[in-house]
């Protein structure tokens, strides 16, 4: 009888062949975030030297960075899921106004904030259903939805009112700034996982795609992107109103371009999916540091808008370049 042939041992493929080269695809983003970190250090140090105590006096920096941070996190989430939410500023305004109305009517602060965020989630759900079920581009749906929301708010009241006699102190805003950083980094780490990114970015249009074709994956991505971003934007509006101690239908209108500048300069792709780890946090600190420095120097609003607009444009170019490098890197890895 012939001996039984011995099968050669089958060894698992090397790690490089089973992983998508995650670290290699992140390298360009991480390099850019290193540049951003240097920029943040320079801006914060320069502001502190030119205006001693600017970081701590009155709590202005912490409060502004906190509510800008949550608005930027909202916009970044919508971009990462390829469902850009242009209604985040309107959602923040409505939620801030609702929060103030409830508090002034005797509702506890925490409960009022919770109700405001739940209202934002409800609005986000409507946007997600329209976008996900029809596969319409989310920028168009949210642009119109935000306009309707802002109009409804103006119809409810054209005048603002004081929530308290003085703005809130710095105390909890440093905590909320830290919470924003944790939320932003955790979300970025989650989207760095290829499986998560693939599952939640089905709305990203690739060459050859049929953009208006419904798929369950698009509905899931729209739900995560639009509901999540609306909730974060609503909380940003609550923080802004709590800090200012004043509610107005027009509150936070400029926050969208500020948040967009922070997100784009942070390296989040406007095409969806791609983004770094610390970019949004560093972008918020850079934008807020520049804004505070310019305000302390007596700059006009027009100057701020031009500076922030230029940063947003530079950020778009950086995002485009990172997107291009990322595509080439992913192709080389595969």
> What is the full DSSP assignment across 156-216?
H-SS-EESSSS---SHHHHHHHHHHHHHHHHHHHHHHSHHHHHHH-TTS--TT--TT---H
| Residue 247: strand pairing partners | 161
Residue 10 banded pLDDT, cuts 50, 70, 90: very low
Is the model's pLDDT at 258 over the cut of 70?
yes
Residue 13 has a pLDDT of 44
Max mean pLDDT among 44-53, 181-190, 243-252 falls in 181-190
Residue 302: CA count within 13 A, CB half-sphere: 0
Residue 333 has a pLDDT of 56
Give me the helices (H) in the chain, please: 15-18, 22-50, 60-80, 88-104, 109-134, 138-156, 171-192, 194-200, 216-222, 228-244, 255-265, 279-296, 301-333
**Largest distance between two CA atoms of the chain:** 99
Residue 53 has a pLDDT of 74
- CA-to-CA distance for 143 and 121, rounded, in angstroms? 17
More confident residue, 318 or 160: 318
pLDDT tens digits, 117-140: 999 999 999 999 999 999 889 999
Is the model's pLDDT at 233 over the cut of 90?
yes
Give the rounded percent of residues in the chain with a pLDDT score beyond 90.
48
Q: Tell me what the pLDDT averaged over the chain comes to.
A: 84
Residue 255 has a pLDDT of 87
Max mean pLDDT among 50-64, 83-97, 193-207 falls in 83-97
Is the model's pLDDT at 314 over the cut of 80?
yes
- CA-to-CA distance for 288 and 274, rounded, in angstroms? 24
Residue 330 banded pLDDT, cuts 50, 70, 90: low
State whether residue 247 is helix, strand or coil.
strand
Residue 170 has a pLDDT of 64
- CA-to-CA distance for 39 and 45, rounded, in angstroms? 10
Minimal CA–CA distance to 134: which of 204, 197, 206, 222?
A: 222
pLDDT tens digits, 39-82: 999 998 888 888 887 777 766 788 889 999 999 999 999 999 99
């Amino acid at each position: 009888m012939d001996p039984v042939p011995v099968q050669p041992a089958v060894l698992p493929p090397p790690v490089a062949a089973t992983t998508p080269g995650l670290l290699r695809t992140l390298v360009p983003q991480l390099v850019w975030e290193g540049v951003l970190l240097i920029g943040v250090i320079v801006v914060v140090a320069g502001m502190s030297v030119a205006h001693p105590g600017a970081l701590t006096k009155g709590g202005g920096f912490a409060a502004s960075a906190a509510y800008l941070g949550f608005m930027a996190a909202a916009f970044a989430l919508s971009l990462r899921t390829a469902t850009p939410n242009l209604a985040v500023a309107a959602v923040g305004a409505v939620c801030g106004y609702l929060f103030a109305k409830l508090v002034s009517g005797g509702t506890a602060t925490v409960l009022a904030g919770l109700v405001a965020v739940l209202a934002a989630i409800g609005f986000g759900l409507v946007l997600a259903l329209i976008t996900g079920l029809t596969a319409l581009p989310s920028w168009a749906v949210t642009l119109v939805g935000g306009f309707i929301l802002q109009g409804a708010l103006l119809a409810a009241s054209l005048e603002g009112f004081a929530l308290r006699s003085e703005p809130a102190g710095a105390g909890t805003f440093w905590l909320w700034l830290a919470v924003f950083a944790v939320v932003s980094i955790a979300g970025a780490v989650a989207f760095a996982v290829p499986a998560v990114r693939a599952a939640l970015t089905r709305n990203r249009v690739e060459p050859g795609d049929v953009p208006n074709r419904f798929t369950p994956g698009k509905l899931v991505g729209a739900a995560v992107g639009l509901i999540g971003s609306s909730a974060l934007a609503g909380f940003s509006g609550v923080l802004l109103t709590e800090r200012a101690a004043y509610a107005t239908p027009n509150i936070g209108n400029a926050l969208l371009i500020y948040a967009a500048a922070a997100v784009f300069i942070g390296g989040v792709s406007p095409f969806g999916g791609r983004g770094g780890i610390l970019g949004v946090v560093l972008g918020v600190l850079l934008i807020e540091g520049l804004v505070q420095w310019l305000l302390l120097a007596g700059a006009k609003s027009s100057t701020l808008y031009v500076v922030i607009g230029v940063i947003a444009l530079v950020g778009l170019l950086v995002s485009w370049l990172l997107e291009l490098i990322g595509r080439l890197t992913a192709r080389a890895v595969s």
